[in-house]
Amino acid sequence: MDHQYLNTHLSPAVATTVTGVRTAMVALGAGGLAVVGILYTHRTWHQAREGQVTDRYTRAISQIASDKQVEQLGGIYALDVLITSVVDTRRA
């Protein structure tokens, strides 16, 4: 890109301009990488959250299907807590 400026004596104005362009390009690259990292983290967090909700739902349903009344009540309570937390999360 700026190979014509290598190994030559530059005036201060040209050197400042070349340095500014290089700095801007590095800053844009770093900013782009930061945005990609944030998007990836956001997506991963949501996938993990959905997996946790699915696991909690599956456990609650298996407790409800139990033959023991205490486990059935625990499953109903767990399902109520899960639904409440999902609704609160989606409202926010």
pLDDT band at 60 (very low <50, low <70, confident <90, very high): very high
**46-55 tens-digit pLDDT:** 899 888 989 9
Supply the pTM of this predicted model. 0.57
Token readout for 17 is 């301009």
State the DSSP string of 3-48: GGGTTSPPPHHHHHHHHHHHHHHHHHHHHHHHHHHHHHHHHHHHHH
